[in-house]
Amino acid sequence: MLAHESPRNIKLTLAYDGYDFAGWQVQPDRPTIQGTLVSVIEQITGETTLPQGSGRTDAGVHALAQVATVAIHSPIPLLNFRKALNHVLPRAIRVLNAEEAPADFHARKSAHAKTYRYRIYRGEICAPFLARYVYHHPYPLDQEAMAKAAEVVAGEHDFTSFAAVDLDARKENAEINNIRTIYSSSWQCEGEELVYTVRGNGFLHHMVRNLVGTFLMIGKGGLTSKDLKRILDLRDRSAAAATAPASGLYLVRVEY
């Protein structure tokens, strides 16, 4: 059957609770989203294939709609494939959708925009049912200053100051540079939560958590929006504040 000689390119949309995983990328002897998918797809199709994500998420980071492509030869119908995946996968990972994609569709390279959210819980006591899914920060924050700071990062900037200094990131970014365009960047109050939503054409490793860490420093009064502009200009990771905890971060949407 000629049609099955080159593999199908299946686009999966995934939600996951990243709390108990060591991130997206496969690692020896540690539970990862990609690694779990590899073994579950092998169990279902008998094929060994490495799903390609729209990007890595770090240990503890969640996804509402991560996108990954997987090359399989099995003629399994899409609906059956999705159901079989959800039957075998741990409940912390769900396949929301499976669809046929053109051969040249690539989860990372074809992406035009991504949206992330970061949830901060402000109440004094964080319900145990929420603890895995937010960053608990019950101390005072100047929300107006944080809102202003969020606006500063909108537009095209060199985000070197907010990129993780690690070899992986360097390798990944070598092809292009650290310039990214942020289409929107804002904080919203949602009940007892303060939520940051950012949409851009791409994000460097740790970029959202590093931005949130600096916004928090601004909220505490340790820095101002002016400092944020200066930090961006410095293009030096050590100029910005600490990385915010992983548990509050969600990959919300990938646009193609």
CB nearer its own copies, residue 97 or residue 184: 97
Q: Tell me whether strands 62-72 and 249-255 are parallel, antiparallel or unpaired.
A: parallel
Residue among 220, 203, 200, 197 at smallest CA distance from 150: 197
Q: Tell me how far, at minimum, the Cβ of 65 lies from its own copies, in Å.
A: 11
Torsion of CA 213, 215, 221, 224, to 10 degrees: 120
User: Would you tell me which residues interact with its own copies (CB under 8 A)?
Assistant: 15-17, 62, 86, 91-96, 125-129, 131-133, 136
Q: Tell me how far, at minimum, the Cβ of 6 lies from its own copies, in Å.
A: 30
CB nearer its own copies, residue 17 or residue 172: 17
Give the ranges where 153-236 is alpha helix by DSSP (H). 167-174, 207-219, 225-234
Q: Tell me how far, at minimum, the Cβ of 250 lies from its own copies, in Å.
A: 10
Burial class (CB in 10 A: 0-12, 13-18, 19+), 28: exposed
Q: Tell me how far, at minimum, the Cβ of 41 lies from its own copies, in Å.
A: 18
- Identify any residues that bridge with 70 across adjacent strands, giving them in sequence order: 10
Burial state string for 150-188 with b = 16 or more CB within 10 A and e = fewer than 16: bebbbeebebbbbbbeeeebeebeeeeebebebeebebe
CB nearer its own copies, residue 103 or residue 131: 131
Residue 104 annotated as catalytic: no
Measure CA 256 to chain center. Answer: 16
DSSP strands (E only) in the chain: 8-16, 52-53, 62-72, 93-101, 113-121, 135-136, 155-158, 179-190, 193-200, 249-255
Q: Tell me how far, at minimum, the Cβ of 14 lies from its own copies, in Å.
A: 9
CB nearer its own copies, residue 96 or residue 165: 96
Catalytic residue among 58, 104, 142, 236: 58
Q: Tell me whether strands 193-200 and 179-190 are parallel, antiparallel or unpaired.
A: antiparallel
CB nearer its own copies, residue 94 or residue 220: 94
DSSP assignment letter at 244: P
Residues taking part in catalysis: 58
